[in-house]
Structure 1
Amino acid sequence: MTDPVVYPPATLRVDGDSLAALRSAVESTLNELTPHLGLMRTEAHMPEPWLGDSASFETWAFYTDHVMGAPDGPFQALLAYEAQLVAVRDRLVEIQAEYDRTESDTASLFGSRL
């Protein structure tokens, strides 16, 4: 098995006024994705081959091993995507708080001089 591809971190530059819209877009994506992943966790696993014949067993085994169970399979990729979106959302919240703090500090320091 080969190691998964790891990409270097990228820098995303966003205008301070656009942070709320970007965070909203990420939240919207999470709000759509997360329920589907919940359904996949509970309903997408096939407990056993549906007919008990060799063809359904082979299909079940492939699906179980490669789609739902493989560390580099589609289901794990979707879970990793969700985790990345959560990390982005959380970081955007931190950035927004830092931005708001900086704006407030700047206004306090220079507001009366402007």
Structure 2
Amino acid sequence: PTFHKHVHKLCNGVQIHVDDPAYDHEVFRPWRLQALGFKAIRRLYPDYALWRDFPYEYVFDKLAIDVINGGPGLREWVDDPAATPADLEALAGPDEAAWVELRRPYLLY
């Protein structure tokens, strides 16, 4: 990580950098990319302990992935063998569309 409490520490995570000239900020969806990565890990290694079960920050009764994502939706989608990318879109799309409208009056440019 390049900031916060884990700056310059090896955390065994993934940091995504897109440096291709074809990159389009309006189209790229990094949260979906990471979600699909989790889904691939779950399918390839179904018994892998993908969700760490220890207190996260100030929350002791929820999994860290659920705290970070505001609920269990992502985790449940990843863990459901029948769930598809279209299901993920149905899960996330309405909230994202609502956020776009909610923030619109505050955009300066």
Q: Flag whether TM exceeds 0.5 (same fold).
A: no
Whose relative contact order is higher, 1 or 2, with alpha carbons under 8 Å and at least 6 apart? 1
Q: Relative to total residues, which structure has the larger helix share, 1 or 2?
A: 1
- TM-score, normalised via structure 1 length: 0.29
Which has the greater radius of gyration?
Answer: 1
